Amino acid sequence: MERKKNIFTDKLADDFQELYPDEAYMRVRPEKFRDTCLGLHKLLLSPVMTMFACDRRRQNNTFSVTCAFLSRADKKWIMVVTDVPAQSPAFVSLTKDIFSAHLFERQIREMFGLEPIGNPDIRALHLHEEVWPKGFYPLRKDFKPGNAASGPKDEYKFSRVQGEGVFEVPVGPVHAGIISPGHFRFSVAGEPIINLEIRLGFVHRGVEKLMEGKTIPDALALSECVSGDASFGHSLAFVQAAEKISGIIVPLRAQGLRAIFLELERMYNHAAGLGGMAMDVGFSFPAALAAVIKENILQLNKQLTASRYLKGVNIVGGVSRDIGESSASLLRERLKGIEKDFLRLRDILESSTSFMERVDTTGYLRRNTAYDLGVIGLAGRSSGIEIDLRKFFGDIYKPAGFNMAIGRSGDVLARLNVRLFEFEESLRLIRYFVGHLAAGACVATQKIVPGYGLGYAEAWRGPVLYWLDIAEDGTIERCKITDPSFRGWQGLSYAVLGDIIPDFPLCNKSFDFSYAGNDL
């Protein structure tokens, strides 16, 4: 850290502040923003983990733009902050140097009206051009929803592939299955896909704006509805941000319980994903078996917490549900049955040559592509991006001896194997945590204090980040939500290249990204 501090504080940063043990802020002048970010990107080998703007015109007549990197060696988040004057709302784009900033810049542009100078693609992401009139920026503090009813609208321009024999296959937004909406446009020459453009935003609900002005408990309830299948991961990231800002020390017992619930969420989703992959190649028995595993875990969740999706479990300072002696033995008992079903599922999948043929070498996402796009989490690990927040943060995982799942090849098989490995690891972790639950209370009662900071959790898809700014009156001033799906979807559009359209559902399911978490 010392070395980095010297390089950047001397040459670039105007101010370097280690606000929390795991989070440092570096304030730079606008002209140095790009160089500082690029330097950190090269030094830390970290993609842009999140990037967002804040409207601070009421305080000091500027906007601010923040770009976050992860320092794995120091176990620290490094946030680079710069001001953007309100009179000339524009900042220097990072996209050409750090591609993982690309989508964030587009998001900042459509939500705040800050122009990323030099970004070659400034099409809207969530506020569709056909629906939303130009010149209305919802995350600005002076935005009034009533005004945005009328105004000139535009049309989204798909990138076109032209040439003899090239044709387009549009899919969506309403898909064949029971799934969220999104538009996929394939350009195909003969059988192989030569381009896939993914247009999302169909389930945009304006969550970040809704967060503003809410009290912490209300906002917590909303965070559980950002991405329904990762409600615990999202609410965990949210409460951890609030706890960090307020200096609340979460009791060890609550930390252990949170770890258990987080792994339960991972397990039911991995079971659903494994079943989905089998279903997408028409292999119905393992799909049904996986559905049974998922249902068993959901029923277990309900017995432990009264909610199948673990809603209402996280509260600021700890958890609302304890696992007592009887619940612990119930949990152990149920895990035995779940493990038995899981091992059978794994055997069936791995012993089917035709299934393995389908998944092997399908949907390659190469490491370099994943790194450039900033694909992290489950999909990133399958392509060799070694980022798992449980490994770097959270002292609770150290005594348990956490093993990170890593795939190298980046194909559907790698993602399948990572999921199988993680399911087993989750079983092991839950058993460890249940056996080693610390005694004591499972909630700490302390007051919320104003301030800002980053909360994070390794949900089943990957790192979920909540950057919170709590105002003087204890309500939320700004909340930036980053789901791993946000950059991940791009990875899918590269992974399918060269494959055929019938392999697309399989590739899609192997990544298993969230529409709702992306669209917010």
Partner 1 sequence: MIDILRARIAKGILSQEIPLADGDGLGQELRTVIAKRFGRSFTIREVDSGSCGACESEIISANNPIYDLQRFGVNFTASPRHADAMLVTGALSKNMVLALQRTYAAMPDPKWVITLGDCAFDCGKFKGSYYLAGPISKVLPVDLHIPGCPPEPIEIIKHLLVFLRQLK
CB of 423 to partner 1, least distance (A): 18
Separation between Cα atoms, residue 77 and residue 350, nearest integer Å: 39
> Within 10 A of 315 (CB to CB), how many other CB atoms are there?
18
Q: Which of the stretches 17-25, 91-99, 162-170, 508-516 binds partner 1 when contact is defined by CB under 8 A?
A: 508-516
390: left (phi > 0), else alpha (psi -120 to 50), else beta?
alpha
Q: Which is nearer to partner 1, 199 or 381 (CB)?
A: 199
The residue from 133, 228, 450, 451 that contacts partner 1 (CB under 8 A) is 228
Cβ density class 316-335: b for 16+ within 10 Å, e for less:
bbbbebbbeeebbeebeebb
Binding status of residue 516 toward partner 1 by CB under 8 A? yes
CB of 92 to partner 1, least distance (A): 29
Separation between Cα atoms, residue 170 and residue 391, nearest integer Å: 40
The residue from 5, 57, 75, 308 that contacts partner 1 (CB under 8 A) is 308
Decide: residue 349, CB within 10 A, 0-12 exposed, 13-18 middle, 19+ buried: buried
The residue from 105, 229, 263, 411 that contacts partner 1 (CB under 8 A) is 229
Q: Which of the stretches 227-235, 328-336, 357-365, 396-404 binds partner 1 when contact is defined by CB under 8 A?
A: 227-235
493: amino acid identity, one letter? S
Q: Which is nearer to partner 1, 290 or 323 (CB)?
A: 290
**HSE of 125, CA atoms in CB hemisphere, 13 A:** 25
CB of 310 to partner 1, least distance (A): 11
The residue from 7, 43, 45, 179 that contacts partner 1 (CB under 8 A) is 179
Q: Which long-range contacts (CB under 8 A, 24 or more apart) does 337-344 make?
A: 337/296, 338/267, 338/293, 338/296, 338/297, 338/300, 338/427, 339/427, 341/289, 341/292, 341/293, 341/296, 342/271, 342/293, 342/423, 342/424, 342/427, 344/289
Binding status of residue 261 toward partner 1 by CB under 8 A? no
Binding status of residue 501 toward partner 1 by CB under 8 A? no
Task: Tell me, residue by residue from 327 to 366, as one string, x for binding to partner 1 by CB under 8 A and - for no binding.
Answer: -----------------x--xx--x---------------
Binding status of residue 131 toward partner 1 by CB under 8 A? yes
The residue from 221, 404, 427, 501 that contacts partner 1 (CB under 8 A) is 221
> Within 10 A of 288 (CB to CB), how many other CB atoms are there?
13
CB of 409 to partner 1, least distance (A): 26
Q: Which of 271, 407, 403 is CA-nearest to residue 349?
A: 271
Separation between Cα atoms, residue 114 and residue 445, nearest integer Å: 40
Q: Which is nearer to partner 1, 20 or 143 (CB)?
A: 143
2: amino acid identity, one letter? E
Query: Do strands 183-189 and 193-199 pair parallel, antiparallel, or not at all (unpaired)?
Result: antiparallel
The helix (H) or strand (E) run that includes residue 365 is none
Compute the Cα dihedral for 468, 472, 473, 477 and give only its sign.
negative
Separation between Cα atoms, residue 474 and residue 496, nearest integer Å: 46
Binding status of residue 226 toward partner 1 by CB under 8 A? yes
Binding status of residue 133 toward partner 1 by CB under 8 A? no
Q: Which is nearer to partner 1, 233 or 251 (CB)?
A: 233
Separation between Cα atoms, residue 292 and residue 281, nearest integer Å: 19
Number of residues that bind partner 1 (CB under 8 A): 54
Binding status of residue 285 toward partner 1 by CB under 8 A? yes
Q: Which is nearer to partner 1, 176 or 439 (CB)?
A: 176
The residue from 93, 227, 305, 510 that contacts partner 1 (CB under 8 A) is 227
Q: Which of 272, 274, 262, 267 is CA-nearest to residue 310?
A: 262
Residue 12: both structure tokens together: 């670039």
Q: Which of the stretches 103-111, 175-183, 253-261, 469-477 binds partner 1 when contact is defined by CB under 8 A?
A: 175-183
The residue from 152, 163, 177, 401 that contacts partner 1 (CB under 8 A) is 177
Q: Which of the stretches 137-145, 358-366, 378-386, 445-453 binds partner 1 when contact is defined by CB under 8 A?
A: 137-145
Q: Where on the chain is the footprint of partner 1 (CB under 8 A)?
A: 126-128, 131-132, 138, 143, 145, 148, 173-174, 176-181, 201-207, 209-210, 221-222, 225-229, 231, 272, 285, 288-289, 291-292, 294-295, 298, 308-309, 311, 344, 347-348, 351, 514-516, 519
